[in-house]
Amino acid sequence: VSAPTPRLEKLRHQLMPMYNFDPTEEQDELEQELLEHGRDAASVQAAAAGQAAQGKTTLPSQGPVQRPSRLVFTDVANAIHA
């Protein structure tokens, strides 16, 4: 196999952009995805708690609404240490 010519190498780099791996960018995306998942779970739990309470109001600082966010941060910590 012959070595690629400089012209061929230049063309290859123009057609195929270099992939730069940035672990911080990937971690930010993972954390954002986990946070969004936690908010969705909190909304579902809050709706279920509201239906179960049948008219009783639950403050956002109480009850099951906060549990998913704690779970999310635990998941993020586990993902970082994995």
- Establish if 12 belongs to a structural domain: no
Would you place residue 6 in the very low, low, confident or very high pLDDT band (cuts 50, 70, 90)? confident
**Bigger pLDDT: 44 or 4?**
44
- Establish if 45 belongs to a structural domain: yes
pLDDT at 3: 73
Quick check: 82 and 44 in contact, CB under 8 A? no
- Establish if 37 belongs to a structural domain: yes
pTM for this predicted structure: 0.29
Q: Provide the number of structural domains found in the chain.
A: 1
- Establish if 56 belongs to a structural domain: no
Q: Across all residues in the chain, what is the average pLDDT? A: 71
pLDDT at 82: 72
Say whether pLDDT at 47 is over 70: yes
Per-position b or e across 10-42, b if 16+ CB within 10 A of its CB = eeeeeeeeeeeeeeeeeeeeebeebbeebeebb
Residue 30 to residue 25: CA distance in whole angstroms? 9
pLDDT at 20: 62
